[in-house]
Amino acid sequence: QVQLVESGGGLVQPGGSLRLSCAATGIAFSIYRMDWFRQAPGEEREFVASIDSIGNTNVADSVKGRFTISRDNAKKTAYLQMNNLKPEDTAVYYCKARYRLKDYWGQGTQVTVSS
């Protein structure tokens, strides 16, 4: 069955960096667009970044210049490199795989930015 597993979250100080990974099984990974979303307590889930099957990327204005999305089709893994983290980046981060109208979500990984 389809499974997306996020990893790499944790506690980091403001200004620090983390790299999140999203490992996929059960899908033809290379044809899927991969997205990262996040959800802070009491907030709506919001878009963070996406990368399509040919490597075109889109990043939310709130993280532009700090976050980078990438993918390794051979490893069936998408990444979110997060630099210069801020307390407002604290959230559960989710990856999503989308092909046509079919979406698959991971279980999320917690990122906490605090001193």
**DSSP classification of residue 39:** E
Q: List the end-to-end C-alpha distance of the chain, in Å, as a whole number.
A: 40
Structure tokens at 72: 């390794």
Task: Per residue of the chain (115 residues), give pLDDT as tens.
Answer: 999 999 999 999 999 999 999 999 999 999 999 999 999 999 999 999 999 999 999 999 999 999 999 999 999 999 999 999 999 999 999 999 999 989 999 999 999 999 9
